[in-house]
Each structure stands twice: as structure tokens, then as C-alpha cells.
């Protein structure tokens, strides 16, 4: 089985003008196989977002190798990276990042517009993705007519609509109350189990990470533990 993500010796150094360089990643090795649901945990400043941005082809490492779905991506130019990103990756952010005054369905259609999918096919796929997150009835609502949890589920529908090989979520529950956080994480769990989607969620909250099946802990730019998540005890 070809891993979805295979990084070796990944380093990231931010050069600060007039100051000392910041070493955000100090040589990270990680392999994620298809069908995994991984939580990346660690305190603020430990390198989680930097790692996610590199894995998501939004940024480049200073050193190290990265094979995405078997292809070395370090040498790809910006256009090739953008193309691969739009075809193969889905993103979910803390702040939902939905377009205002634009319906849920149109928001979900956006990645397919970038990918050049024809309109009728786009609409069908958008509705299907909204159904998958339990929001089929809200297709024509705009973000300001939806709760935070619903907006995040629209963002998740948008992230899966191109059937990406990997979904990356950075603190997806950071702006949500406990109940909505549980809904959103349970949704990732269903997408993982029922649709075999490969998911990596970055979070600093243990309750959130407990929904994943594997937990990778960052500290000071290193991975300090990597363990299966134990099933929650049934009370
Ligand atoms: N664009 C940047 N420029 C300079 N330093 C950065 C930048 N992004 C992150 N850092 C620094 O890199 C380290 C890791 O940050 P980050 O990856 O955001 O950690 P986390 O997501 O775990 O909070 C921190 O010291 C942070 O200040
Ligand atoms: Mg972060």
C-alpha cells in the first residue's frame, strides 16, 4: 500500500528579518497510510500548523523529503503544487473560510470550479457532499443563516467534494462549543470509517484528538510520541 504521506527529516526554518531564525520543525519523520485518521497534537508553537501547511503543499520544507501518494513533491514548481493541491487535498480551517453572501451549495461547488468540472456535475456533487454532512436541506442557506457547527460542516462538505486523497483540518473545532465540536469530530470519524477517507486533524485539545485512531504528539518541532488511540470506554 503506497502511503498518502511519507516525510523524512523534515525541517522548517523561518528566517526573521533582524532577528534569530525560528526552527519550527527539527527533522520530522512520519508516514500516513490510506484510510488512517490521525490527530496531530501538541502545545501552541510546537510546529503543528507548520507541519500541516507543508503536508498540504501550502508551504515548502527547508530540508527533508516529502512523498505524497508516492510522488516526491519537493521539486514541483508552484503551478504543479497548486494543481496537485486542488485535485488531491481537502482543507478545513478553524474559521470555516466560507464566502459570505454565497449559498452553502455554491461554497461547496468552489473547488470544482477551480478544477473545471461542468455545472450540472458540480451541482450534483455539491448536493451529495452536503447530504454526506447532514446538510442537504440547507443547500440554499447562506453562511450567516447557519450556526458555527453547520458552517464548519459546509466547509467539510467543500473539503470532500473533489474526493481528495487526504483531508487536512487545522483546529477545526477551535471556534465551536462542545456539542458542535463533538458533531464535527464524529463527522470526520464517519467519513473515515464509512467512506475510507484519510484524515489528519491538528488540535491542541485531547477530547478532540480522542476521536482519531492515531495520535501524533509534537513538542518543540519534533514528534515525541505516536500511538494508537484507545477506544473510549463505554460508560
Ligand atoms: N510565518 C512564520 N514566520 C515566523 N515564524 C513562524 C511563522 N509561522 C510559525 N512560526 C513560528 O514557528 C513555530 C511553530 O509555529 P506553528 O507551526 O504555528 O505551531 P502550532 O501550530 O503548534 O502552534 C513557533 O515558534 C512560531 O512562532
Ligand atoms: Mg497552529
Paired strand residues for 219: 222
Per-residue pLDDT of the chain (235 residues; tens, 9 = 90+): 899 999 999 999 999 999 999 999 999 999 999 999 999 999 999 999 999 999 999 999 999 999 999 999 988 999 999 999 999 999 999 999 999 999 999 999 999 988 889 999 999 999 999 999 999 999 999 999 999 999 999 999 999 999 999 999 999 999 999 999 999 999 999 999 999 999 999 999 999 999 999 999 999 999 999 999 987 655 4
How many angstroms is it from 38 CA to the middle of ligand 2? 16
How many angstroms is it from 159 CA to the middle of ligand 1? 24
How far the first Cα of the chain sits from its last, in Å, is 36
Could you identify the atom of ligand 1 that is nearest to the CA of residue 43?
22
Q: How far apart are CA 86 and CA 218, in angstroms?
A: 27
The DSSP bridge pattern shows strands 89-93 and 166-170 to be: parallel
In the block, cell 462549543 appears at: 177
Residue 207: Cβ within 10 Å count = 12
Q: What's the whole-model pTM score?
A: 0.95
Q: How far apart are CA 64 and CA 5, in angstroms?
A: 13
Angle at 48 between CA 55 and CA 228, to 5 degrees: 85
Domains and CATH numbers, the chain: 5-228 (3.40.50.300)
Residue ranges lining ligand 1, Cβ < 6 Å: 14, 16, 22, 24, 42, 44-50
Amino acid at each position: 500500500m503506497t502511503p498518502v504521506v511519507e516525510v523524512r527529516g523534515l525541517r522548517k526554518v523561518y528566517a526573521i528579518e533582524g532577528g534569530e531564525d525560528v526552527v519550527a520543525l527539527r527533522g520530522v519523520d512520519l508516514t500516513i497510510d490510506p484510510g488512517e485518521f490521525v490527530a496531530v497534537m501538541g502545545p501552541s508553537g510546537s510546529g503543528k500548523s507548520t507541519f500541516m501547511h507543508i503536508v498540504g503543499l501550502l508551504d515548502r520544507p527547508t530540508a527533508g523529503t516529502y512523498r505524497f501518494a508516492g510522488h516526491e513533491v519537493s521539486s514541483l514548481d508552484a503551478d504543479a503544487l497548486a494543481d496537485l493541491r486542488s485535485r488531491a487535498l481537502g482543507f478545513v480551517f478553524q474559521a470555516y473560510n466560507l464566502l459570505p453572501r454565497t449559498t452553502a451549495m455554491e461554497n461547496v461547488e468552489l473547488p470544482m470550479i477551480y478544477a473545471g468540472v461542468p455545472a450540472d456535475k458540480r451541482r450534483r456533487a455539491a448536493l451529495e457532499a452536503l447530504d454526506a454532512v447532514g446538510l442537504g436541506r440547507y443547500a440554499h442557506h447562506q453562511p450567516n443563516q447557519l450556526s458555527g457547527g453547520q458552517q464548519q460542516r459546509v466547509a467539510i462538505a467543500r473539503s470532500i467534494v473533489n474526493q481528495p486523497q487526504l483531508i487536512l483540518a487545522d483546529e477545526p473545532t477551535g471556534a465551536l462549543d462542545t456539542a458542535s465540536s463533538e458533531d464535527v469530530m464524529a463527522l470526520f470519524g464517519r467519513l473515515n470509517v464509512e467512506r475510507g477517507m484519510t484524515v489528519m486533524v491538528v488540535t491542541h485539545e485531547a477530547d478532540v484528538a480522542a476521536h482519531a485512531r492515531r495520535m501524533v504528539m509534537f513538542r518543540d518541532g519534533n514528534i515525541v510520541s505516536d500511538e494508537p488511540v484507545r477506544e473510549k470506554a463505554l460508560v
